[in-house]
Structure 1
């Protein structure tokens, strides 16, 4: 029995791959929406950017405060750009690798600052691994990348 080198790009896996793209993107955008106060107080982890900056300082206590604050805003910008790219399927490989690395940095920072349990509770390791799995695909169905490849 021969196995395909990249089973996720098999036509029967087009929808699971799209679902993975959308799930990663919506999850990241949900975190951004929380920082902007778009979730109700009951469903919010931070509720505003100032609280997220404070949380980021907790995770990056090894950095000077200015760099820590910068990292909060840089992460937020990337957590907007990468998901939008994933939703559109534009430069999907780049967006998936970027998402994976960003989530990996977040998971490591959470582990160092808050302990092993915290990143598991928020599935940050799973998100990073899922984005990495998406990044290694050879093609992306239902995407701008697929349309422009032809």
Structure 2
């Protein structure tokens, strides 16, 4: 059973991870205006190519699209509580890949400044919960 004291912190963690990831999506499409890191897709593609310098250009471009797709999919799954464990593991591995790529390409300071390691660790912590509160998973698993 889920500890009653764990219900809201777990929900808060799910939403915090999801909103943080969706904020990065909003940034690359210019929704944050002057407060953005990339501000548009072209700048995000350049940044992705910088992080994936070891890949051929076509794979680097593909990775920008794949990362964006997954950065939309996993947070939406987390918010809805749909396949929550899979979404949490997916977010954890995706953020781990980002952290490692940023560390190699830009140095360790970049992923630390953006708390990418913390986001990855938080997602893995969430993935290891026995049961999730306030989820579609709970509605579909009830007998």
TM range (shorter): over 0.9
Inter-partner Cα distance in structure 1 for 2:140 and 2:9: 21
Aligned to 1:24: 17
Show structure 2 runs of 5+ residues with no match: none
2:135 paired residue among 143, 146, 150: 143
Aligned to 2:42: 50
Alpha-carbon RMSD: 0.9
- TM-score normalized by structure 2? 0.97
Inter-partner Cα distance in structure 1 for 2:10 and 2:128: 12
Inter-partner Cα distance in structure 2 for 1:130 and 1:25: 11
The runs of at least 4 consecutive aligned structure 1 residues that moved more than 6 Å come to none
Show structure 1 runs of 5+ residues with no match: 1-5
- TM-score normalized by structure 1? 0.93
Q: Count the aligned residue pairs.
A: 142
Inter-partner Cα distance in structure 2 for 1:27 and 1:116: 20
2:90 paired residue among 94, 98, 110: 98
